[in-house]
Structure 1
Amino acid sequence: MNSYKISVAGVTRELPIIQVSSELSIASFVILGDCELVTAAAIELEKKIPEVDYILTAEAKGIPIANEICRLRNMPYYIVARKSIKPYMDSPIVEEVISITSQKKQILGLDGKDADIIRGKKIVILDDVISTGESLLAIERLAEKAGANIVCRAAILAEGDAKNREDIVFLEALPLFPNNK
């Protein structure tokens, strides 16, 4: 199996190269369960994020890094945009997205209660990886509909051309792997 070695905040991982379409493969970066990497990355990424009232992340891989940065900053709460609308959600705000890993239309939903919490507040949109920026844009639209003030966009990794963006902060760049035809 092909792999790609990356070092993030002093933690090295060997990432498997996974084909996500006939044209493209990616180095699969999964932070779920990787406490060592999440803790180290949070310490470094937290330094790059300005003061904010709340962190907004997408379900599910952004959750561990959001939790750890909240812990470092003594923030009691972060907001999660869910990938499905749950029965307990009150007046959810919904956006559609097609990400590089899903390859199909998905939704992101923000509970109306959470929208009320971030209205007029300074937020950072946080994720594990920013690649095409489609998920980021969908979360931005949710935040804007809620009336939040986006002051920062941050991720552990910037994948592909995202490394050239000047509107995000990140720790390391991750290449994309075009498939040979």
Structure 2
Amino acid sequence: MDPTSSYSSAAEALEALTRRVADFPEEGVLFEDLTPVLADAEALAVVIRELSAAARDFGADMIGGLDARGFLIGSAVAYDLGIGILAVRKKGKLPPPVLSEEYSTEYSEAALEIPAEGIDLRGKRVVLIDDVLATGGTLVAATNLIERAGGSVVGYAVVLEVKALGGRERLGGAPLAVLGG
């Protein structure tokens, strides 16, 4: 444990600070808001430390951060490890040319994009980082994009998992680190 931190683990920080909001964004959904975790310096530090350890263990030489909270935490992990980050964006946020992949979320249909030029992913070992693993659609779509660009996804690291939605099963047994939930 970091002697300056009041949290012995990310799970402890998440339990203490995650704001749970019933019936958002629609009735029957319990939304787990990580904003208070990200705003607390000690909690953020322990979350980044544990995600970095997972990415290091998976052999990452690049982080893929998923739009949008995955950018926040993925950037900090990439910085901590001294490697680059690929911003995996929602459709329409990048200038062309792009590679695009459609997928289904628990609420709707969506698409992710990465640049088709300017970043060489061939042979890169990418760890995808996101805030929540729910149905797994977002992580699977990002995996497909990276593989189409010549990279390989060597693992996934998420802050929370909604186990009832079965996303873990869609990841094909690839290494997965979950900090809480």
Normalising by the smaller structure, the TM-score range is 0.7 to 0.9
Number of equivalenced pairs: 161
Secondary structure of the 2:17 match is strand
Matched-pair contact (CA < 8 Å) for 1:96–1:106: yes
Match of 1:124, SS state, is strand
Unmatched segments (≥5 aa) in structure 1: 1-6, 174-181
CA contact (8 A) 1:30 1:61 kept: no
8 A contact 1:54–1:118 mirrored in 2: no
Q: Residue 54 of structure 1 aligns with which residue? A: 62
Instruction: Tell me which residue corresponds to 2:39.
Output: 34
Greater share of residues in strand: 1
Residues of 1 paired with 2:135 and 2:92: CA distance?
24
What secondary structure sits across from 2:138 in the alignment? helix
| 1:64 counterpart letter in structure 2 | L
What percent of counterpart residues are identical? 21
Unaligned residue ranges in structure 2 (runs of 5+): 1-8
Is the 1:57–1:127 contact (alpha carbons within 8 Å) kept by the matching residues of 2?
A: yes
- TM-score (normalizing by structure 1): 0.77
1:44 Cα offset (Å):
1.3
Structure with higher helix content: 2
Aligned counterpart for 2:122 among listed residues 119, 123, 133? 119
Q: Cα gap change, 1:25/1:151 in structure 2, threshold over 3 Å: closer, same or farther? A: same
TM-score for both structures, normalised by structure 2:
0.77
Q: For residue 97 of structure 1, what is the aligned residue in structure 2?
A: 103
- Aligned residue number for residue 5 of structure 2: none
Cα deviation for residue 124 of structure 1 reads: 0.5
Distance (whole Å) between structure 2 residues aligned to residue 124 and residue 14 of structure 1:
24
Secondary structure in structure 2 of the residue aligned to 1:78: strand
Measure, in 2, the Cα distance between the counterparts of 1:31 and 1:74. Answer: 25
1-structure distance, mates of 2:167, 2:121: 28
Q: What corresponds to 2:152 in structure 1?
A: 149
**Cα deviation code 1:62-101 (max 9, x no counterpart):** 01111111121122x2011111234x6342000112323x
3-state secondary structure, aligned to 1:47: helix
